[in-house]
Structure 1
Amino acid sequence: MIAELAYQDLEPGSLARLFGAGHAAVLVRCPDIVAELWRGLLEDSAEQMPWEAPLIDIARNYHGSGDITASLGDLFYFQPGRHGYIARKMALSRGKGKGHVVARPAYFVQGGGHYVPRQALLDQCWAIGWRLMAALAPEGTPPADFQIVVQRLKYQESAGDFDRLDALARNSLGRWGRAGCALDERRSQAAGMLSPRGLSDLYGLLAEVPVIGRLLQGINRLLLRRDRSRDIAPGQRLIEGAHYDYRYFSALCGQREQMLTQVFADGRWIDLPIDRATLAVFPGSMATQAYGVRHVLHRVLHVEQQGEGPAGDPRTDNVTVLIGSA
C-alpha cells in the first residue's frame, strides 16, 4: 500500500499512476535534497523558530484565518484529539510575469528585528513542490494555478506537555469558548453513521443531555467497536484526529522520536515512515476534485516511551517539515 520512488524518477504523471494503482502513499527517496532542505529550514541560526520565541513574537507573526488550515505565519493550536503543534507556515507563489518566487508572509518579527527567508531557499522549496505537483497531475494534464505551502510543525516530547499546552490554550477562552471546546471534543468522538459533519455536531450537542444523551452514547459505543478507523494501540495517544488534507498533496519529512503518522488503507492503520532521507507523499481532497485521485485519511499519534532517552535538540526534535500544494 506504500510505494517507493527515487526523486530522479519523478516525472509528469508518475505519482498519479501510483496513486491510481491503489497506493495510499509514496516514499520519494531523496536524502541529499532533504538534507539541504532541513539545513535551510531548521538549522539556520539566524532564524528564531516560534517554539523558541516569546509569545509576543508568535502573535506578531500570526496571519490568521477562520480556517486553521489557511492560517499563515506563526501559530499554535492545541485541542485534544484535533491538533497539537506549534508551527511556522508560508505560502509561495510565482505569478505571471514574476521571475522569482514570492513568500507570504515576507518576513518574521524577531524581537526588535526581522528575519527574511533566503531567496535561494524559497526557490528550492518551490522547485520541489512544483516537481511533485507535476508528478501528481495525470500525464498530459499540466497543473493548474497553485501555491506551494511550506510548514514546520513542532510536536511535544511528553504527553504531560501536551496536556499543559491544552490547558493553557483553553484557559485563555471565556466560558462559552470553553463550552465550545468541550462540545468539539464530544463531536470528535462520534463514530460510524454519527461521524459526518452535521450529525457529529448534533451528537456533540445532545451527548450530555439527560436520558437522550445516555442513549446516544450507548449507540456510539457500539459504533466505535465496529469502526476500525478509531483503533489506537496501547501506549499511543491521539494528537491529530483522522482527517483528509484539503490541499493537492502533502509531502512530509522530519526528525521524530515520539510522534507517528499513520495512513488508513484496506481497513487498517499503516505507519508512514517520516525521516530525513525521504519525502512521504499522499494526496489530499483537491487532488480528488481535480484529478480523481483518492484522498487519504491520516492521523498523528504520540507514542509513549519507557524511561528517558538520550538528550536531543529541542529546536529540531519531533519536528515535521511539510511541503504541499494548494
Structure 2
Amino acid sequence: MSALNNIEQPDLSAAQILKRFRAGAHVVCLRNDPRLNKLCDALLVGTGIGSDFWPASIFDLARNHIAGETNFGDVLRFVPGEYGHLARKLGFYPDPTTGKFIVYPDYAGEHKSWSIEEQETFELAWSLAMDVLQSASSKPIALSDYAVTIELLKYPESAGELQSMLDLISDSSSRWSRWGRKIDRAAASACGPFRSKYARHLYALLSLVPGIGAILRSLNARFLDSPFNFHPAEKMIVGQPHTDGSRLLTMLTGHRNVMTTEFFANGSWTEIPVNPTTLAIFPAKKYEQSTGVRATVHRYLINRLPRKKPESSRNATILIGVISRTQLEQRL
C-alpha cells in the first residue's frame, strides 16, 4: 500500500483507517466529506471561533494567552528550527447532561462567550473527529473517554518574514535570553547522532565553544546530505522532523500556499496535501502505544521567497487532534 493513502467519506467505517495504517500507510487522506468544507468555512472565514484571531494584534493575542501554557489558549511560538506560528488552541467535549460542549479555555476574544453558532462548529468537529477515531480503532470506542482539540495556526508569508519575527523577538530579549535562542538555533541544526533527545542539547552547548565548536559543526555537516536531513534550497525548515506526542491522532486541513508539511517514509519525504477538501490523518505517539502503529515522522517547511501576487489565502492551518478526556479535565 502507498505511504499516502486516500479514503472517501462513505468508506469511513469501523477499522478502515486502521487497516490502511497497518498495511503501510503513514498518512490517510479523507476526501469529499461535506463536513470538512463546512468546518473550514466556519473556522477560516466565518464570524465565530477564528474571526478575531486571524486579524489579531500581538496585544489581542496576549489578552487570550494563559500564563505558562502552550497547549491551550492563544500562543505565540517562534523558536528557531522548531516553531514559527501564532496559534489559537481549544479543547472540548460534550457535557453528558446537557449535550452542550464544555470548552477550554471557556472564552476567546474580548468579552466573548461561545455562542450557539460556535457550539454548532464544535459539534461538526467532534462528529468528524470521532468518526475518524472509530475508523482508526479495532473496537467500538467510548466517546466519554475522549476530547477533541482544534488549533488555528497562522504562519508567516515567507522565510524572510519568519526570520524577521525571530530577530524581533531576539532583539527584544535580555542578553541571557539571546544566548538561550542561540542554543535553541544550534540544537535545531543538529543532525544524525547529534539529533537524539539529549545529545542535541549537549551538541548545542559545545558547538558554541571556540575550537571544539568548529569540529562539532564540521562533523554535524556530514549528515546534512542524507535523505532524512535534505530539504530543497528554496525552502526553510520551520519545524524539524518529529512525531506528535500528546495526541492519539493528528488531522490537518486548511488553506495555505507558502507552507508545506511533509512526512518521511521509505527513505524520502512526501508532501501532505493540506486544503479545505482534504483531511490528512496520521498517528501520534499515544496511538502508537495503543495500537503498535508507528507515529508518523513529519516536518514543516516554508518558501524562502515571498509570494509574487497577493492571494486570498490566510496561509492558515487547522489542526484537529484527539486526546484523552482526562488530559482536558485536569485543566478545567
Specify which of 49, 59, 63 is matched with residue 60 of structure 1. Answer: 63
SS in 2 for 1:183: helix
After superposition, the Cα gap between the structure-2 partners of 1:221 and 1:54, relative to the gap in structure 1 and judged at 3 Å, is closer
The reply on whether 1:28 has 2:30 as its aligned counterpart is yes
Letter in 1 for 2:229: R
Letter in 2 for 1:179: W
Using the TM superposition, give the Cα deviation of residue 83 of structure 1 relative to its aligned residue in structure 2, in angstroms.
0.8
Deviation per residue, 1:51-82 (Å, 9 max, x gap): 4123222111112446x3xx212111112211
Cα-Cα RMSD? 2.1
Using the TM superposition, give the Cα deviation of residue 238 of structure 1 relative to its aligned residue in structure 2, in angstroms.
0.9
Letter in 2 for 1:131: D
Deviation per residue, 1:74-109 (Å, 9 max, x gap): 111112211111111100123554523211112112
Q: Is the Cα–Cα contact under 8 Å of residues 51 and 86 in structure 1 kept in the other structure?
A: no
CA distance in 2: counterparts of 1:55 and 1:213, whole angstroms: 37
The reply on whether 1:7 has 2:9 as its aligned counterpart is yes
Aligned to 1:121: 121
CA distance in 2: counterparts of 1:197 and 1:306, whole angstroms: 33
CA distance in 2: counterparts of 1:119 and 1:144, whole angstroms: 18
Deviation per residue, 1:20-73 (Å, 9 max, x gap): 11111011013522210012112223654334123222111112446x3xx212
Using the TM superposition, give the Cα deviation of residue 14 of structure 1 relative to its aligned residue in structure 2, in angstroms.
1.5
Aligned to 1:235: 234
Aligned to 1:79: 79
Specify which of 35, 44, 47 is matched with residue 45 of structure 1. Answer: 47
CA distance in 2: counterparts of 1:135 and 1:26, whole angstroms: 11
Letter in 2 for 1:236: K
The normalised TM-score by structure 1 is: 0.90
CA distance in 2: counterparts of 1:253 and 1:305, whole angstroms: 23
Aligned to 1:321: 318
The reply on whether 1:298 has 2:295 as its aligned counterpart is no
Letter in 2 for 1:319: A
SS in 2 for 1:114: coil
CA distance in 1: counterparts of 2:91 and 2:141, whole angstroms: 23
CA distance in 2: counterparts of 1:21 and 1:2, whole angstroms: 11
Deviation per residue, 1:137-189 (Å, 9 max, x gap): 22456578222111111112222221221122223322211111110111111
Letter in 1 for 2:83: H
State the number of aligned residues: 317
Q: Is the Cα–Cα contact under 8 Å of residues 106 and 116 in structure 1 kept in the other structure?
A: yes
- Identity, in percent, stands at 28
Using the TM superposition, give the Cα deviation of residue 9 of structure 1 relative to its aligned residue in structure 2, in angstroms.
1.4
After superposition, the Cα gap between the structure-2 partners of 1:141 and 1:105, relative to the gap in structure 1 and judged at 3 Å, is closer
After superposition, the Cα gap between the structure-2 partners of 1:115 and 1:165, relative to the gap in structure 1 and judged at 3 Å, is farther
Letter in 1 for 2:77: Y
* Unaligned segments of structure 2, at least 5 residues: 324-332
Using the TM superposition, give the Cα deviation of residue 218 of structure 1 relative to its aligned residue in structure 2, in angstroms.
2.0
* Unaligned segments of structure 1, at least 5 residues: none
After superposition, the Cα gap between the structure-2 partners of 1:166 and 1:30, relative to the gap in structure 1 and judged at 3 Å, is same
Using the TM superposition, give the Cα deviation of residue 122 of structure 1 relative to its aligned residue in structure 2, in angstroms.
1.0
The normalised TM-score by structure 2 is: 0.89
Aligned to 2:330: none
Q: Is the Cα–Cα contact under 8 Å of residues 64 and 108 in structure 2 kept in the other structure?
A: yes
SS in 1 for 2:146: coil
